[in-house]
Structure 1
Amino acid sequence: MIHDQHKKLGSVFTVSFFGLKVTFLIGPEASGHFYQGLESEISHGNTFEFLVPIFGKEVGYGVDIPTRTEQMHFYTEALKLSKRRSNVDPMVKEVEDYFSKWGQHGVVDFKHEFEKLIMLVSSRCLLGKEVREKMFGEVYMLFRELYNGMHLTSVLFPYTPSPMNRRRDRARNKLSKILIDIVRSRKAASDQVERDVLQNLIDSKYKDGRNTTEEEVTGLIIMLLFGGNHTSSVTSTWTGAYLLSHESCLTAVVEEQKKMIRKYGNHIDYNVLQEMNTLHCCIKETLRMHPVQPINLRKVHKNFTVQTREGNEYEIPRGHTIASPVLYNNSLPHIYKDPATYDPDRFSLGREEDRVGGKFSYMSFGGGRHKCVGEAYAYMQIKVTWSHLLRNFELKLVTPFPKTNWSKLVPEPKGKVMVSFKRVAAA
């Protein structure tokens, strides 16, 4: 639909959905205000109302814009560079421990393996040892219940007392109780300070000096895990499917790991991860072709004007919903050469196709005022996982390259992604 309308009407066009006027902004040239406009001019509106029962009324889309903005700053502080560096060691340990349980050879479902592994890593780095060591199984199942409840009916009717919504609410209440008990326990044991994201959120203060409440910390950590865990596991799976289907790409990332081993031995820290440029480009290309949020929506509160690549100007009226179709924009041929082809080299020095149309050419992590605060953490987590796999296993895709399951909130590979593995001798 978007392709046909773009070809017929140009880079800015409006479509009516059940009486709702949605204006699509195609290309980086028309996208600036979408990502940089003030919240008083464009905002999420009630687009994400369906997430309030999951995250809570005290955080995110359940609070006013100034409060939400401050809460986003809490995330920025908790995930800043100095703290990300300290997360590499526990990430590496979790990954090594997990894959040490694999045998010498076998067949696994990547979707299942990455889903569980990423949750283990998050439990260690974000939630801390209480959850990781004592109650991981319960927390993991509760989060799965939340994810599984994200279907079209719960998105359209989030407060309807349907069986699916009831299961979602029960899981959320149980998860909330677990996290609140941990917060209370930490506050009572003030002499034992943890160095994880949960503790950072507990210690956060608003500009007026107010501390975060137990309910706010619970909502913030659920929002962070909900936004990051599933997206990282899905991206890890897609990355694997592409690497194992493109021999030249797989050879390149394996050679890069051999180079890292020659230079640093088996040691991996933040600086080593930063040198894995080939793997980084492979993950980035995966996200170009499979952004975790294929389309972004905003509500217009004040008229504004956009200019297209062709130089045409359009006024977007108040009351419209505006859409930035990330997946479509990531495939524009005047930005990306052969956009349907998996080509990680398009981001290499000298090509850098993601800069061809300016800073809004690549929007898989959002941009401007709406840049994903967890981007660097996500890359780090996926690199740790894949660097270990590439160093220690020969992998082959057993099932056909997966199709996309569009019924999920985060489009994921459809069905199982079966991969055979064979452990290789340590380098």
Structure 2
Amino acid sequence: MASSLLESVSPALAALLSNVHPAVLAAVVFIGLPVVAIALNVAQQFLPKDPNLPPVVFHWLPYVGSAISYGDDPLKFFFTNREKYGDVFTFVLLGRRMTAALGPKGNNFILGGKLTHVSAEEAYTHLTTPVFGKEVVYDVPNPVFMEQKRFVKCGLTIENFREYVGFIEDEVEEMLAKNESFVTYRSGDTTRWGSFHALRTLAELTICTASRTLQGREVRASLSGREFAEMYSDLDGGFTPINLMFPSLPLPSYRRRDRAQQAMSDFYVNILNKREAGDNDHDHDMLAALAEQRYKNGRKLSKREIAHIMIALLMAGQHTSSATSSWALLHLASRPDVVQAVYDEQVKHFSNGDGSFRALTYEELRELPILDSVIRETLRMHPPIHSILRKVVQDMPVPASLSSGSSNTAQSRAYVVPQGHFVLASPAVSQMDPRIWKDASVWDPYRWSDPEGVAAEAALAYEDLSGEKIDYGFGVVSKGTESPYQPFGAGRHRCIGEQFAYLQLGTILALLIRNMEFKIDRVPDHNYHTMITLPKEPCSIQYRRRAKAT
């Protein structure tokens, strides 16, 4: 009976549709299919769930999921959903299942995760390998990457740091003498105010100081050339969120990225070839340090490997340091009292007594508590990366202490994150958590001078001075995965360049404050639409030349 009914309905339906205008029919399909897809997606979320899986954030759009709210303001997204679901929850991000584990325990769960459970390589290689190049970083097995980190550490010696301070000072002085934004400064007038764009200026200064120190004299000499600038710009264009989520789009920017990567790789190989041929007019820089290293099996690094490690250092360090120095200077410009305190610290330690300053030194730079607090507080409020991903390669049980959640409604569950999903840690959440930090949203460097405060305790946990030390293959480091303050990551993927970053940031900020006063109407909001969290426009700072120290 049912079949005969269908047989009679089908011709009638076909006849009805044949009388509908094609444009109307197309409109019905175009509108109807998305509506049906959304309805099915919503209905599916109200069906009974597997109690062993973390709760899923409600979302209207299939595939898109929570991409819009997460991408626009990830910290607001995390804090809002923590109140609904607890510290562990899953959200859909452009077809991927992301399980966030928040707070210090969540950081420890993911960043301290075992290689048998999580993989950074599988999470990031499709973003980093086209930019950095083959056979380095996330394009190699983790033990090999750990050896490569050890090689880089060989170029980050105290002896080099001592020399780098002078190099950075030269670059700051050159920028003040040549950059068009500092005409007012060069006039010698201590009453007139000028302005400069914080992000663009600090990005230029960061790449100049990094190239003169870590990259070497040949790289620094090439920076002013149009060819190198275009090469760097095209390569940088491949280091964006769209490249992370969609690694193989047929776009012109992707093709430019690939051409630039090959050209940049050839650039470094050519330098190495010249040195091998007898050109010894260079410092003992990172290129020289890497050329001396050998893997545990005795094999030396190839020239391509060295070139690609150098590209990784250039790209990763440039973004993070320029962002942090920009945020620091923007906050300083909003707090004349803190600027004055940093300046007074400079006068106390470095004044010649005649209105001039003597040169900074590496050892003395480490003994400036107010400047150090400015950098630490900036990193607390503005960690360059708000989300750290790992891909789950084996079903990953969530500890009961974490899956119990932090909301009143969350119940203790033995959650398991399935293989193939992604897990996400956000040290930015624990660093901005009002449950941990007093006045968490206020930039207050002085919180770091309280020996019994949360900041001092968090820093101690991060350095883990008396606790567990681990050698992941690049030297003994503190684990640091349970600290609520993790500005350089934690565990095996903790940034090995953090001491250089403090040196670079401290030297730049100290020298600028020696020379200028600053002011700004308000500190800009965060721009979360970039790989590294940057300030939104406008982010210009007003300055005037400082009178001589007395």
Q: Do the two structures share a fold, i.e. TM-score over 0.5?
A: yes
Specify the alignment match of 1:421 in structure 2: 543
Specify the alignment match of 2:120 in structure 1: 44
Instruction: Mark the CA change 1:126 to 1:100 in structure 2 (over 3 Å): closer, same or farther.
Output: same
* Alpha-carbon separation, structure 2, partners of 1:356 and 1:47: 32
How many angstroms does 1:212 deviate by? 0.8
Answering whether residue 146 of structure 2 is matched by residue 72 of structure 1, we say no
Q: Which runs of 5+ in 1 are unaligned?
A: none
What is the SS of the residue equivalent to 2:260? helix
How many angstroms does 1:96 deviate by? 2.1
How many angstroms does 1:140 deviate by? 3.7
Answering whether residue 515 of structure 2 is matched by residue 385 of structure 1, we say no
How do residues 319-358 of structure 1 correspond to structure 2 at under 5 angstroms?
Answer: 319=419, 320-354=421-455, 356=457, 358=461
How many angstroms does 1:134 deviate by? 4.6
CA contact (8 A) 1:95 1:384 kept: no
CA contact (8 A) 1:22 1:323 kept: yes
What is the SS of the residue equivalent to 2:163? helix
Instruction: Mark the CA change 1:45 to 1:181 in structure 2 (over 3 Å): closer, same or farther.
Output: closer
Answering whether residue 459 of structure 2 is matched by residue 365 of structure 1, we say no
What is the SS of the residue equivalent to 2:309? helix
Specify the alignment match of 1:308 in structure 2: 402
Specify the alignment match of 1:269 in structure 2: 361
The letter of the residue matching 1:81 is I
* Alpha-carbon separation, structure 2, partners of 1:337 and 1:387: 28
Count of aligned residue pairs for this structure pair:
426
CA contact (8 A) 1:150 1:408 kept: no
How many angstroms does 1:191 deviate by? 5.5
The letter of the residue matching 2:295 is Y
* Alpha-carbon separation, structure 2, partners of 1:353 and 1:370: 25
How many angstroms does 1:86 deviate by? 2.8
What is the SS of the residue equivalent to 2:390? strand
* Alpha-carbon separation, structure 1, partners of 2:276 and 2:418: 47
* Alpha-carbon separation, structure 2, partners of 1:192 and 1:37: 45
Give deviations 1:132-188, integer Å, cap 9, x for gaps.
Answer: 235543434422332234334333232333111112122222212211100111122
Specify the alignment match of 2:214 in structure 1: 126
* Alpha-carbon separation, structure 2, partners of 1:263 and 1:310: 59
How many angstroms does 1:218 deviate by? 0.9
CA contact (8 A) 2:373 2:448 kept: yes
Specify the alignment match of 2:525 in structure 1: 403
Answering whether residue 137 of structure 2 is matched by residue 60 of structure 1, we say yes
CA contact (8 A) 1:30 1:309 kept: no
* Alpha-carbon separation, structure 2, partners of 1:243 and 1:400: 11
* Alpha-carbon separation, structure 1, partners of 2:166 and 2:294: 28
Instruction: Mark the CA change 1:181 to 1:136 in structure 2 (over 3 Å): closer, same or farther.
Output: farther
CA contact (8 A) 1:154 1:164 kept: no
* Alpha-carbon separation, structure 2, partners of 1:214 and 1:161: 30
How many angstroms does 1:100 deviate by? 3.0
* Alpha-carbon separation, structure 1, partners of 2:233 and 2:93: 32
Give deviations 1:313-361, integer Å, cap 9, x for gaps.
Answer: 7444341321111222211122211111111122224244235564421
The letter of the residue matching 1:24 is A
Instruction: Mark the CA change 1:349 to 1:211 in structure 2 (over 3 Å): closer, same or farther.
Output: same
> For 1:189, which of 278, 281, 284 is the aligned residue?
278
Specify the alignment match of 2:374 in structure 1: 282
How many angstroms does 1:280 deviate by? 1.4
The letter of the residue matching 1:179 is Y
Identity of aligned residues (%): 31
Structure label with greater radius of gyration: 2
What is the SS of the residue equivalent to 2:436? coil
How do residues 136-175 of structure 1 correspond to structure 2 at under 5 angstroms?
Answer: 136-137=224-225, 138-175=227-264
Instruction: Mark the CA change 1:172 to 1:45 in structure 2 (over 3 Å): closer, same or farther.
Output: closer
Give deviations 1:20-53, integer Å, cap 9, x for gaps.
Answer: 3322212113322322233233221422112211
Answering whether residue 92 of structure 2 is matched by residue 92 of structure 1, we say no
Instruction: Mark the CA change 1:350 to 1:79 in structure 2 (over 3 Å): closer, same or farther.
Output: same
Instruction: Mark the CA change 1:337 to 1:211 in structure 2 (over 3 Å): closer, same or farther.
Output: same
CA contact (8 A) 1:297 1:324 kept: yes
* Alpha-carbon separation, structure 2, partners of 1:381 and 1:288: 18
* Alpha-carbon separation, structure 2, partners of 1:86 and 1:314: 53
What is the SS of the residue equivalent to 2:122? coil
Specify the alignment match of 1:317 in structure 2: 417
> For 1:202, which of 291, 301, 319 is the aligned residue?
291
How many angstroms does 1:69 deviate by? 1.6
The letter of the residue matching 1:44 is A
* Alpha-carbon separation, structure 2, partners of 1:139 and 1:126: 17
TM-score (norm 2): 0.72
- Supply the RMSD in Å over aligned alpha carbons: 2.4
What is the SS of the residue equivalent to 1:244? helix
TM-score (norm 1): 0.92
* Alpha-carbon separation, structure 2, partners of 1:195 and 1:220: 16
What is the SS of the residue equivalent to 1:323? strand
Instruction: Mark the CA change 1:12 to 1:263 in structure 2 (over 3 Å): closer, same or farther.
Output: farther
Q: Which runs of 5+ in 2 are unaligned?
A: 1-76, 406-411, 463-482
The letter of the residue matching 1:47 is A
* Alpha-carbon separation, structure 1, partners of 2:543 and 2:386: 31
What is the SS of the residue equivalent to 1:364? coil
Answering whether residue 89 of structure 2 is matched by residue 13 of structure 1, we say yes
Which has the higher mean CA deviation after the structures are superposed, 78-87 or 259-268?
259-268
Which has the higher mean CA deviation after the structures are superposed, 412-421 or 309-318?
309-318
Give deviations 1:208-227, integer Å, cap 9, x for gaps.
Answer: 11111111111100101111
